[in-house]
Amino acid sequence: MGTRDNSGSRLVYTSEHGHVASTDSSRRSDRTGTSKPRRNKKARPSVPNAPKDGIVRISRSTKGRRGKGVTLITGVPLPADELKKFAKTLKARCGSGGTVRGDVIEIQGDHRDTVEKVLVAKGYKVKRAGG
């Protein structure tokens, strides 16, 4: 039993034999074998136009993360290399992972209380943003 019959049409799927793979090399798809589509990590939204008023804002976001929440810290007045060191300190204090995207620190999970305590102890003026 082949995948073609005498009329020239090609069998795509039948419950009798299961999935029938394409034999034409031009129709083959470039699949990795996973059911989830690949995501571009750079496409995650961040807070683009954070005000530079000397106030550090703490918020929680789930957008673009399949429902998983992260704590966002914006407005920390530090250069990029010191911001990464500070983010490492915050991640260790919260006991979770995270990253720095531009001038926004992202910490995995809802750690707004812990982050607020650390920032106030460092002498920053802190506001909770977003509710």
Query: pLDDT by residue (tens digit) across 113-127?
Result: 999 999 999 998 998
Query: pLDDT by residue (tens digit) across 61-96?
Result: 888 778 788 999 998 888 889 999 999 999 999 999
Phi, psi of 77 (to 5 degrees): -80, 70
E strand segments, 13-97:
13-14, 18-19, 55-61, 70-74
CATH of the domain at 80: 3.30.780.10
In a domain, 103, yes or no: yes
pLDDT score at 67: 79
In a domain, 14, yes or no: no
State the residue range of the domain holding 77.
54-128
In a domain, 102, yes or no: yes
Total domains present in the chain: 1
In a domain, 17, yes or no: no
Instruction: Round to whole Å and give the CA distance between 96 and 86.
Output: 14
In a domain, 107, yes or no: yes
In a domain, 87, yes or no: yes
Q: In this structure, what token pair is assigned to residue 43?
A: 């496409």
